[in-house]
Structure 1
């Protein structure tokens, strides 16, 4: 593939809050591009991208699905991501490898909690975005309100490229402000034909003002446009597009379009905007990787002639075999190639390459820089691993994985189920870094840990349907964290029995509490003979293992800096053995933490709740009983919007309670916010007071 061809690739994702219309938009994109010949609808369970039975039954997206289509001269590699908070890892790993994104907002609800979360994820990886305000045909649709929301909640500078023709149920099309023409979409062929015409006279004044605001935004990124704007000259379409593209690629502005995907209106202009304003792989800044041995950085560009560097961003288990999704950043890969997994220092042999269309595969002979493909044959590769040319090893930045917050105890029903349970759960752990499974040594139960009730419910359902494993489940439980109140210094000596004589190891360490959200930080001294860098790396691994195991309750330690002050060795004595040093590190952390006044932190959720006004008092009273803190009230028509923070421990089964209190008219969405100190009764239950 030539550089010209790579310049016409767009690797994009569809991101938004649940039920904003991501999958519906994707279905229209596939239909209008000619990739499919029939539109699938989410509410009928017929959407191409929602191929899992659980997705079809619930009408939601659970796993990020990749597909590919052509729009004119451009090839779009498209990933449809979930909107539910429980499946946020699917968004995280997709955003990590995407060059651009289409963010969808509901014209009625505006910026919702999960919209805000996925927007921040895209901010973290500096992913340029174009936006679609969807559902313009709904009662209460107000695109101006959504633009205000974007500025207020996201800090985003939104640039409106269109005005609506008609409002709410009368929405009939859009006016393109750059081309100054009216666009409507034929009902005869499901919106496939775009009818272009002059701007209706009644919209002329509004178009003039809106185009002036658009030109003012574009002028910040192009001197010629600025000169024309200041002198009052009309700026041409190409000059505006050039300036808007520059601002969009820098994540300084976000073009906004309007439409109603369900009514087949406004999707083709979104595709045009993707090709015009979002980056090709060649537009991205140079990537930086680290050499596995030295940690030294090296930059490289998207060039098929360079050595291969690819990131594994998703792994799927199909009947025990792995299908690994790769984003190729440089070089090229062919079937039969042997690659180095630089993250795990192991070799992988690629058997087949596929371009994916949801769960269907199209085999290809080769993938080059800029491509997103799936491969078979990888035995050890997991999410976030780097695959590269064995002669030029380089490590890329991995994927940030959020910590799971809900656990569930399960037991196999029969002997055959027991034999297959742990093996099957391992497949799920390949696929999903936010899912954990371990056996409780005291009860013999298997403990599943995930991002929420729905996440674990889907796992249980898949165990039964896909693998025929039947289990009994307990009640979901909150996953707490341990933290320390005070700083502790400790000297630890540990002795192992060697082949001929005891092998002692000694280290001195200090545990320092960090502010909330600080995670775990380890600091090691510089290696000094006979203590090598490899020995210190082994000690670091044990320090982290000890933190994951906690000191008293079995919950992981967090918000803690573990600093190894020294690894003393007598003059002339040999270096301590790795096994002894690991033992000293692990035991040292646990015993030191017990001296640091440990206490429990509980997960706190950010809640957005809608309720009719007449039930507001009852709803607020219920939140108060759940230790909720109301942070804001907003009125939206006949509904009250409540913003609050509530401990996760109080939220199990809340949907049933809310429906009862509001006669079925209330709804809420929830996102993880952070950890706070658990109440005294919880601390006492775990023996920490």
Structure 2
């Protein structure tokens, strides 16, 4: 194995070979034990955990170490290593190139006879839906924090997501070896910024370049990680210079847990000395109720502190039987009833599962599910509660990144996948079609950035359609619409990186290069004052001709109706026969599709037809349609026109220290502040901003608020554009018309 070739040749070759042999034997034994993974195990021997954090906190590196120490993999690779292999959980080519996690990846492993299902999630805010749906189905989580960066923007987002789904967590302070590492400051930030009742379970023995190990405050032992890869955990006495600090921090830990746990609290008040078992039991109770967060630490890159973290996962995070999961049952004529699911690993109760992620693969759609109740066997039938469709399950698999391992049965608490099931993310599956149960859905954040998209080559449109259909189904935050007004395709997502990644995937996976650009704004043209018209359309070229006359007024609608078009027939008598009125209205609406000022639609106009004239032979519906179009051209010449634009209601939420920067950004974008609000250190501003000025705001807000700001916007109304914007739009339209005419002349010649 390549991992053992890293040992240098020296006088200690024999010793190294012995270590190599021992590790090899352990790995072989571990790999053999995976054959028994699918065996029926009690719920207390199962853990479903996620690893979440801000970008570049070391989640994927930590997962790589966990898989190595548990024997799941025989070689460790770095996220952006020189060997061009990359971490196990970053299987996508783009992930290896960029050194970031884009898609959440699932795996399972064994540690001390416990089955651990792990989901490694992205840290970038653009892929937050991956964290959202992973936390929805997990029982516990590891919150990774950088010892230098501490609590960062996405840490706060992940913390809110854990709170939303009531997921217990323990914290792992990573990167103790980095320059400027300060775990005490990180703990202080957890308490102040995240509101956690947190305390150290360990203390670092040395920081930065002198990182040696950790002190276990509960066992009162020093832990060192020996061997080439930190695979040997050695217990020793606490260094003399750290004994006083260890005693103080151990007492602090007991006090924090005593404040939220009655049993330990009584012992504390009675001044009894709690045993190691008492403290661990109290921490577990408090952690399960989300009233205490245990904090451990280490350096995943330097192979320190990972094994104690795994022990903490087993000791303090819940098994599937300790988490209450509720399904909603709808009955006709009755209120929706909440049903508590029974997670026993038997077929006493019917199967209930939730599809939380979809992924297109070479074998078709791969659907990730979490089993909440009952047992599902290969070859059984499932019912989709939403669609009422019945489907047979030909294959059940467990996932290890991109690798799949077939299993015959899955039990309550398991995370698995299956093929060939047409469903949506968030669908509930049951084996008993009489059960009208549905699990609580997954929170999907609204997209914040939109861009126009089109294939570079028109011949790639089929592949483009396939790619869009797949990606929009897999990722509910990636949305696709067609703008009828501007005749362009629009994609929306959580950020510019989000859309850029999908554009690159279209080229790599479907051979369809695309062009992303700023979407056009749906401007409108409207009248400022009423304008009369009297237009005669007359054409004679032998035989039956065309004759129609229309008279009336075009006038603006009130401001609150400036997106509407109205046609009013006020004619009296037979000057304009009633059968020709629809022709007049059709002519008006055709002209309203493209104005003559800047080429955008007309809106906020009422067309009042008051009188006219017809010819007994030459008049027809076409003639009156053409007359109406001529009348509108007349009004363009004589009337006063104005361009209006969509105004968005924008809501921005940032920490209070960025209040001034946010207000300045909105003012620069011609925004009008309508109201402000502040609560618990956060500042919220409501404003009305032109949509044309909102492009690129997502990136500006993140950079101006250190990534901590969030915003949402929705359509509010149409309002007149500024004079300089109107002049620019008119000039741009006239230039494009001139270019079009020149091209037509060249074609004729």
Tell me if both proteins adopt one fold, taking TM over 0.5 as the criterion: yes
SS of the aligned residue for 1:457 comes to helix
2:486, 2:520 within 8 Å by CA — same for their partners in 1? no
1:352, 1:377 within 8 Å by CA — same for their partners in 2? no
Matched, 1:384 2:432: no
2:78 maps to: 41
1:152 CA drift (Å)? 1.3
Relative to structure 1, the CA distance from residue 398 to residue 622 in structure 2 (aligned partners, 3 Å threshold; closer, same or farther) is: closer
Match of 1:70 among 107, 110, 133: 110
Relative to structure 1, the CA distance from residue 668 to residue 103 in structure 2 (aligned partners, 3 Å threshold; closer, same or farther) is: same
Listed one character per residue, the Cα deviations across residues 286-328 of structure 1 (whole Å, up to 9, x for unaligned) are 5232237553332222123211110000000114821000000
Match of 1:317 among 344, 350, 360: 360
Single out whichever of 620-629 and 343-352 deviates more from structure 2: 620-629
1:672 maps to: 710
Return the alpha-carbon distance in structure 1 between the equivalents of residues 253 and 702 of structure 2.
47
Return the alpha-carbon distance in structure 1 between the equivalents of residues 58 and 514 of structure 2.
34
Return the alpha-carbon distance in structure 2 between the equivalents of residues 298 and 622 of structure 1.
49
Listed one character per residue, the Cα deviations across residues 611-635 of structure 1 (whole Å, up to 9, x for unaligned) are xxxxxx9999989856899x9xxxx
1:561 maps to: none
Matched, 1:302 2:343: yes
1:368 CA drift (Å)? 0.8
SS of the aligned residue for 2:179 comes to coil
Single out whichever of 331-340 and 254-263 deviates more from structure 2: 331-340
SS of the aligned residue for 2:438 comes to coil
Q: How does 1:396-545 map to 2 (within 5 A)?
A: 396-475=439-518
2:209 maps to: 169
Q: How does 1:80-229 map to 2 (within 5 A)?
A: 80-186=120-226, 188-220=227-259, 222-229=261-268
Relative to structure 1, the CA distance from residue 682 to residue 598 in structure 2 (aligned partners, 3 Å threshold; closer, same or farther) is: closer
Relative to structure 1, the CA distance from residue 627 to residue 136 in structure 2 (aligned partners, 3 Å threshold; closer, same or farther) is: farther
1:354, 1:373 within 8 Å by CA — same for their partners in 2? yes
TM-score (norm 1): 0.73
1:344 CA drift (Å)? 2.2
The number of residue pairs the alignment matches comes to 546
Relative to structure 1, the CA distance from residue 285 to residue 342 in structure 2 (aligned partners, 3 Å threshold; closer, same or farther) is: same
Larger radius of gyration: 2
1:201 CA drift (Å)? 1.1
SS of the aligned residue for 2:142 comes to strand
Return the alpha-carbon distance in structure 2 between the equivalents of residues 150 and 656 of structure 1.
24
1:177 CA drift (Å)? 0.3
Relative to structure 1, the CA distance from residue 404 to residue 654 in structure 2 (aligned partners, 3 Å threshold; closer, same or farther) is: closer
1:374 maps to: 417
Relative to structure 1, the CA distance from residue 222 to residue 122 in structure 2 (aligned partners, 3 Å threshold; closer, same or farther) is: closer
1:651 CA drift (Å)? 3.9
Matched, 1:283 2:283: no
Matched, 1:649 2:694: yes
1:335 CA drift (Å)? 2.0
Listed one character per residue, the Cα deviations across residues 653-673 of structure 1 (whole Å, up to 9, x for unaligned) are 968998xxxxxxx99435524
Return the alpha-carbon distance in structure 2 between the equivalents of residues 39 and 462 of structure 1.
27
Return the alpha-carbon distance in structure 2 between the equivalents of residues 276 and 608 of structure 1.
38
Listed one character per residue, the Cα deviations across residues 169-203 of structure 1 (whole Å, up to 9, x for unaligned) are 222111000000001111x3211111110111111
1:247 CA drift (Å)? 0.2
Listed one character per residue, the Cα deviations across residues 20-66 of structure 1 (whole Å, up to 9, x for unaligned) are 11111101100111001111211226111111111111111111100
SS of the aligned residue for 1:461 comes to helix
Return the alpha-carbon distance in structure 2 between the equivalents of residues 479 and 392 of structure 1.
47
SS of the aligned residue for 1:174 comes to strand
2:400 maps to: 357
Structure 2's unaligned 5+ residue stretches are 1-37, 524-599, 602-644, 677-681, 727-749
Listed one character per residue, the Cα deviations across residues 502-542 of structure 1 (whole Å, up to 9, x for unaligned) are xxxxxxxxxxxxxxxxxxxxxxxxxxxxxxxxxxxxxxxxx
Return the alpha-carbon distance in structure 1 between the equivalents of residues 212 and 325 of structure 2.
44
2:215, 2:221 within 8 Å by CA — same for their partners in 1? yes
TM-score (norm 2): 0.67
Return the alpha-carbon distance in structure 1 between the equivalents of residues 279 and 521 of structure 2.
52
Relative to structure 1, the CA distance from residue 439 to residue 26 in structure 2 (aligned partners, 3 Å threshold; closer, same or farther) is: same
2:629 maps to: none
Return the alpha-carbon distance in structure 1 between the equivalents of residues 260 and 702 of structure 2.
52
Structure 1's unaligned 5+ residue stretches are 481-552, 555-596, 611-616, 632-641, 659-665
Single out whichever of 41-50 and 170-179 deviates more from structure 2: 41-50
1:355 CA drift (Å)? 0.6
Return the alpha-carbon distance in structure 2 between the equivalents of residues 238 and 608 of structure 1.
43
Relative to structure 1, the CA distance from residue 157 to residue 313 in structure 2 (aligned partners, 3 Å threshold; closer, same or farther) is: same
1:16, 1:114 within 8 Å by CA — same for their partners in 2? yes
SS of the aligned residue for 1:61 comes to coil
Matched, 1:602 2:650: yes
Return the alpha-carbon distance in structure 2 between the equivalents of residues 105 and 275 of structure 1.
20
Relative to structure 1, the CA distance from residue 254 to residue 656 in structure 2 (aligned partners, 3 Å threshold; closer, same or farther) is: closer
Single out whichever of 668-677 and 329-338 deviates more from structure 2: 668-677
Return the alpha-carbon distance in structure 1 between the equivalents of residues 101 and 656 of structure 2.
21
Matched, 1:264 2:296: no
1:402 CA drift (Å)? 0.7
SS of the aligned residue for 1:91 comes to helix
1:677 CA drift (Å)? 8.9
1:471 CA drift (Å)? 2.0
1:604, 1:673 within 8 Å by CA — same for their partners in 2? yes
Relative to structure 1, the CA distance from residue 274 to residue 441 in structure 2 (aligned partners, 3 Å threshold; closer, same or farther) is: same
Relative to structure 1, the CA distance from residue 683 to residue 308 in structure 2 (aligned partners, 3 Å threshold; closer, same or farther) is: farther
Listed one character per residue, the Cα deviations across residues 190-228 of structure 1 (whole Å, up to 9, x for unaligned) are 111111101111111111111111112233455553343
Q: How does 1:52-71 map to 2 (within 5 A)?
A: 52-71=92-111
1:156 CA drift (Å)? 0.8
1:410 CA drift (Å)? 1.5
Measured on the aligned residues, the alpha-carbon RMSD in Å equals: 3.6
Q: How does 1:583-598 map to 2 (within 5 A)?
A: none
Relative to structure 1, the CA distance from residue 441 to residue 279 in structure 2 (aligned partners, 3 Å threshold; closer, same or farther) is: same
2:49, 2:117 within 8 Å by CA — same for their partners in 1? yes
Return the alpha-carbon distance in structure 2 between the equivalents of residues 206 and 682 of structure 1.
67
Relative to structure 1, the CA distance from residue 599 to residue 415 in structure 2 (aligned partners, 3 Å threshold; closer, same or farther) is: closer
Relative to structure 1, the CA distance from residue 30 to residue 445 in structure 2 (aligned partners, 3 Å threshold; closer, same or farther) is: same
2:66 maps to: 29
SS of the aligned residue for 1:26 comes to helix
1:323, 1:375 within 8 Å by CA — same for their partners in 2? yes
2:463, 2:511 within 8 Å by CA — same for their partners in 1? no
Matched, 1:7 2:64: no
1:442 CA drift (Å)? 3.7
